[in-house]
Amino acid sequence: MYLVLDINGVTEMKDDRKKVNTIVFAAAGAWFLSMASFAIWGIWSKKASLDFVCLYGICNLGIFSFAYKIISKNVNHIMQKVDDCIQCMIDGQAIQNFSTEEESLLSKFQMQIMKLYQILDSSREHEEKMRKEMSGLVADLVHQVNTPLTNIQIYSGFLMQDNLPKAEKADIGEIINAQIEKLGWFADGFTKTARLEENMRKLVPEKQPVLPTILSAIDEVSLKAKQHGNEVCLEGRQDIQAFYDRHWTEEAIFNLLDNAVKYGEEGTPIQVKISAYELYIRIDVINYGEPISREDYPKLFNRFYRGKNAALIKEGVGLGLYLARQIILEQGGYIKVGNLNNQGNVFSIFLLKETY
């Protein structure tokens, strides 16, 4: 949070002082003219002596000076309280020097400046939170990238050995290519994560049919599923509408389908079920294969986390489920994972039917 010194504001303050001085001198001039008029009238009409006129003028001058001093002191006291209020807010402490029960100009001014303080404080907290999240993301990425880089360095050293058989060289070449691919997945996942966190506030949920979004996600994964021997089956109500952002929700559904292909058994179907509840609509993505351990459930949606069975799969860096959860949570929904009678896994997306 920055404090900007506005030169125009300083100039306006000087102008305001000139206006105050002008008003004071004008009042003093009016008083002097009235006194002079009164003296001329009194002496000319012989209804007042010169001593009386002088005494009258001195009394009026005393009253005027006393009133000016009281008003000036009161104004300075109020401005000091305003200054204290602003200074405390700058120091990070919100205090109230004026009663909020009175509908005075000062209480309204205090209320407005308190709102400004809360807005600035909220912005500062949000900025600090985003900075910590991005710092954590970068730290996680660096940690994850170090492993494939180290492997590439080690296996490149093996390739430099003159007596290494061609078969082993070919195997090492494949390992290095796999590590390079992994770096590419990290870069792609990091780009998507950064883009999502940057555009979180730009999500535009609206009430719309769910079916077209699910079909688009299925189309994206269909070729990969076919190569893996999986058939994607869609069932359930197809006339359901929900309140969501289509672009990012399609990304979340695709990530679940992509995981289902990666970790499902070859030749088994991948089921997508649509159902409706009172407040939410539910999208289940079901795959058959080794069930995820229940002890992994709380960690599945963390950045870069991969379960025990995932370590046997070459692809993936552990960002798909994290992205999916962030997307759905931002729209007021949620994701959960379950066991399919010890035969596979069920990932369920819940989207709001209406905005509340």
Q: Which domain holds residue 163?
A: 134-200
Low-confidence ranges of the chain (pLDDT < 50): 1-14, 311-312, 314
Give the per-residue pLDDT at 199: 59
Whether residue 124 lies inside any domain: the answer is no
Whether residue 108 lies inside any domain: the answer is no
Give the per-residue pLDDT at 234: 94
Give the per-residue pLDDT at 6: 43
Spatial separation of the C-alpha atoms in residues 351 and 356, rounded to whole Å = 12
Q: pLDDT tens digits, residue range 62-109?
A: 777 777 777 777 777 777 777 777 777 777 676 666 666 666 666 777
Pair (277, 310) in one structural domain: yes
Counted domains in the chain: 3
Domain boundary among 160, 178, 200: 200
Domain boundary among 200, 228, 248: 200
